[in-house]
Structures are given as C-alpha cells and as structure tokens.
Amino acid sequence: MKTCAAIRELLSAYLDGELPQQEAQQVSVHLRRCTECREIMEDFRRMQAQIRDLPQAEPDREQWGNLMNRATMRTSRGLGWILGVGGVALLAGYGLYSFTRDPSVDTLERIGVWAMLGGGVLLFATVLVERLRAHRSDRYKDIEQ
C-alpha cells in the first residue's frame, strides 16, 4: 500500500496517462478513498485545462504561407535546375566554340562569340558559388546537434 506522499508524486503522470498500468491502478484506487489526494488531482486537472485554453500567438496568414514554402523547398529541384541549365549552356558553348574554329569566320565575330562564352561561364559559376555558400552557412543543417 502506497502512502499519500508516494501517490502524490505519481499524480502528474497519472493525469497525463503516462503511468504503467499497475501504478495507474494503484493511484485510481487510492483517489477513490482519499479526499486530500483527490483535491490535488482536481487542481491539476483544472490547471491543465486552463493552460490548454490560453490564447496562442498565431502567425500572419500570408507570412506563414511564404515561410512554409521556403522551409520545405526541395534542394533536389534546385539541383535539377542547375544540371538542366548547365547542360543547355554546355551544348550552346560547344556550338559557339565550333563556330569560332571555322576558318571562314572573321576576327570580330570570333571575339564576340568568345565574350558570350566567357559571360555564360562566369554567370553559371556565380550561381553555383552562391548556392554552395547558402548551403554551408546553414548551421542547423544537422538535426543531431
């Protein structure tokens, strides 16, 4: 038979339904015949109900939608874009390169094409570096910190 003091230590877990069955049974039997412990239990119930009913701070609708979109963005999609755009750029670059090797093309055209090529490579590299940097600066990447 448990004392009132021992029962009182279990009341909180009893309230939450987190006691093993045998102990829950002991508490329930005790509460039936002990007014003082029952009063404590009632106070716990009342407090729990009131805390549950406290108003919750709620996010602004639009802000929340944007936040959820950003948080659940798929990096695989980002990678897909990089690969896709990269592939097109590579083909275009190769085409332009072959064009400059053609002996019938004059110097001015050749310079223009090289400038286009250089610009494309530079743009692609910039985007890549930015993405890598954004990825690295996220300190909460690993859930098991």
Partner 1 sequence: MPVSDRERELIERLDAVGRSGFAYACQKLRNREDALDAVQAALTSVWRTRQRLDPQRDLRGWFFRILRNRCIDVVRDRARGAHQTLGSDPVTLDDPADGLARDESRDQLRAALATLTEEQREIVLLRDYHGLSYAEIGRALNIPPGTVMSRLSRARSALRERFLAQEGAS
Measure the CA–CA gap between 145 and 115, rounded to whole angstroms: 47
Considering the complex, state which of residue 38 and residue 110 has its C-beta at the smaller distance from Zn ion: 38
Site for partner 1 in 105-144 (CB under 8 A): 138, 140-143
Comparing CA positions, the residue from 89, 97, 96 lying closest to residue 127 is 89
Among 34, 89, 96, 113, binds Zn ion (CB under 5 A): 34
Cβ 81 to partner 1 shortest distance, Å:
11
Considering the complex, state which of residue 34 and residue 89 has its C-beta at the smaller distance from Zn ion: 34
Among 30, 34, 54, 87, binds partner 1 (CB under 8 A): 54
Measure the CA–CA gap between 96 and 78, rounded to whole angstroms: 27
Q: How far is CA 4 from CA 13, 19, 32, 56, in A?
A: 15, 17, 13, 36
Measure the CA–CA gap between 49 and 53, rounded to whole angstroms: 6
Site for partner 1 in 12-51 (CB under 8 A): 12-13, 16, 18, 40, 43-44, 47-48, 50-51
Among 4, 6, 47, 115, binds Zn ion (CB under 5 A): 4
Cβ neighbors of 48 (< 8 A, separation 6 or more) are 15
Q: For Zn ion, which stretch binds (CB under 5 A), given 14-22, 33-41, 42-50, 99-107?
A: 33-41
Among 63, 98, 104, 107, binds partner 1 (CB under 8 A): 63
